[in-house]
């Protein structure tokens, strides 16, 4: 009997359970004393990670003017050499955004852009990671303080990740 218990314990320790969905809050606050870092989000790891990590996070939240003389706004960025963000839709209410997010089953017909902007609450986005895997997110809360120095941005979002690289979501 003890041998069976030991086998069950060891077999449970072998597999790594991958988190493929959840809700997270990110901001662009800098940490450290140099080099400075922020926290971004890694879909593969299912958690917030330092921008100094290897591998780097899939997305970070930033704040700044996206055009010469433009207003400071919050946006998502990715450290890839290809456009990573596809806006699925912007909705007038949280319930409409939630319904669109929950009903989205596959990635098709998405046009990708380099920066996830304009970033607002009640949006649904598709993220294409550097590893050519997909995540969908629903922005729950987006905050900007353009008057602080540096400007502060925060985004809370719900996410679902497809770790097998397919373009469908469970």
Q: What is the pLDDT along the chain (170 residues), one digit of tens a residue?
A: 444 333 333 444 445 567 999 999 999 999 988 888 999 999 999 999 999 999 999 999 999 999 999 999 999 999 898 999 999 999 999 999 999 999 999 998 899 999 999 999 999 999 999 999 999 999 999 999 999 999 999 999 999 999 999 999 97
CA–CA distance, 20 with 61 (Å, rounded to integer)? 20
Nearest to 153 by CA among 81, 20, 60: 60
Report the distance separating Cα 100 and Cα 157, nearest Å: 14
For residue 16, the model assigns a pLDDT of: 57
Residue boundaries of the structural domains of the chain: 19-162
pTM of the model: 0.88
Q: How far apart are the first and last CA of the chain?
A: 39
Coil, strand or helix: which one is 68? coil
**pLDDT of amino acid 170:** 79
Give the pairing type, strands 39-42 and 60-65.
unpaired
């Amino acid at each position: 009997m003890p041998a069976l218990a030991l086998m069950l314990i060891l077999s449970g320790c072998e597999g790594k359970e991958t988190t493929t969905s959840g809700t997270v809050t990110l901001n662009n606050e800098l940490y450290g004393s140099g080099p400075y870092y922020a926290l971004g989000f890694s879909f593969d790891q299912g958690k917030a990670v330092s921008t100094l990590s290897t591998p780097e996070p899939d997305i970070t939240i930033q704040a700044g003017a996206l055009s010469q003389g433009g207003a400071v706004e919050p946006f998502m960025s990715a450290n890839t050499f290809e456009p990573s963000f596809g806006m699925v839709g912007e909705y007038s209410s949280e319930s409409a955004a939630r319904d669109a997010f929950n009903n989205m089953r596959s990635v098709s017909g998405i046009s990708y852009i380099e920066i996830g902007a304009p970033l607002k609450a009640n949006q649904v986005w598709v993220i294409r990671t550097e590893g050519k895997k997909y995540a969908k997110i629903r922005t729950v809360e987006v905050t900007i303080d353009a008057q602080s120095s540096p400007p502060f941005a925060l985004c809370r979002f719900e996410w679902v990740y497809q770790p097998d690289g397919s373009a469908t979501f469970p």
